[in-house]
Amino acid sequence: MSDPYYDPTGAAAALAFLAILIPLILFFAVIYYVLSSFFMMKIFQKAGVQGQWRAWVPIYNGMIMGKLGDMSPWVVLGAAIAAGVLGQIPYIGWIFSIAAYLVVVAYSWRVGLKLGKEWYLLLLFILPGLGQLIWLGILAFDKSRWNPAIPPAPWASSFIADRTVWQGIPVQPGAPAPAGGYAAPGATAAPGAYPPPPAPGAYPPPPASAAPTAPPAAAEPPAPPTTPPTEPPAPPTTPPTEPPAPPRV
C-alpha cells in the first residue's frame, strides 16, 4: 500500500532546486572571498603591512584588520569562533552572532577613521554581505592615505585593546613597540604620546669640538716717524757790535 502523503514529483523538484541552489551559493561565496581578500590586500598596502599573502588567509586577514583597528586579534578570533560554533545554539545563539558582528563593526570604524572616513559610512554594514564588500572597496581604491594619529579607541584601556606584536604588521599608537620594529609609512605619534626611542645605532654623532681660537695678536709698537727732527740753529758768524764809548767829561 502506497503512502498517500508521499509525492515523488515534489521530492524530485526539491532535489533539483537544491542541485541548482548549492552551486550558486558556492559560486557567490567564492566571488565574495576573492573580492574581499583583494580589497583587504589594498588596505594592508596602505597601512604598511608586509606580505600580500596575509590578505588571502581566511580569518587571519580579519585578525590583521582587528590589529589595524586597535582590537586584539585574539578577541577577533574568539568572536569568529563564537559566531560559527556557539551561534548555532538554539534560542541564545543569536547573542554570540550579534557580539561577533559588533566586534567587526568596532574595528572597521577605527580602520575607517585612519583612512579619513566618517562613522556613518558604516551604515553600509546594514546590507548583509554586500554592504561590507562595498565598504572594503571604498577604502581600498579611494585616494586616502593611512594616518594612525587619531584619538585613542574607547576600549584602549580594556582587555580587548591590541597588545600583540606581530612581525610584518605595523604597531599602531598605544601598542607596545617591538624591538627593531617599524611603523607605517608617514605614521606619526598620537597626540600627547611620547615619541618612540631611536633604534640602536640611530643616535646622532656627538658634535665635533670646535677648534681653539687663536690668541689675539700683540699690539705692534708705533712706527718711528719718517721725518727727521729739526736741527738746532747754527751759531752766528758775525761778532756782535761793541757798545759805544761813554762821553768824556
Residue-wise pLDDT tens digits, 113-158? 999 999 999 999 888 888 999 999 999 999 999 999 999 999 999 9
Predicted local confidence at residue 179, as pLDDT? 47
Per-residue confidence at 185, pLDDT binned at 50, 70, 90?
Answer: very low
Q: pLDDT at residue 228 above 50?
A: yes
The grid coordinates of residue 57 equal 588567509
The grid coordinates of residue 224 equal 718711528
More confident residue, 8 or 66: 66
More confident residue, 179 or 156: 156
Q: Which of 20-34, 67-81, 199-213 has the lowest mean pLDDT?
A: 199-213
User: Phi, psi (5° rounding) for residue 71?
Assistant: -115, 140
> Which value, in Å, is the radius of gyration of the alpha carbons in the chain?
46
> Taking all residues of the chain, what is their mean pLDDT, rounded to a whole number?
78
pTM over 0.85: no
Per-residue model confidence as pLDDT tens digits over 12-38: 777 777 778 888 889 989 999 999 999
| Alpha carbon distance 76, 104 (integer Å) | 8
Predicted local confidence at residue 247, as pLDDT? 58
The grid coordinates of residue 91 equal 534560542
Query: 98-111 burial, b for 16+ CB within 10 Å, e for fewer?
Result: eebeebbebbbbbb
Contact 73, 164 (CB under 8 A): yes
Instruction: Count the neighbouring beta carbons within 10 Å of the beta carbon of residue 67.
Output: 24
Predicted local confidence at residue 173, as pLDDT? 84
Predicted local confidence at residue 128, as pLDDT? 81
Predicted local confidence at residue 138, as pLDDT? 95
Mean pLDDT on 181-206: 44
Q: pLDDT at residue 75 above 60?
A: yes
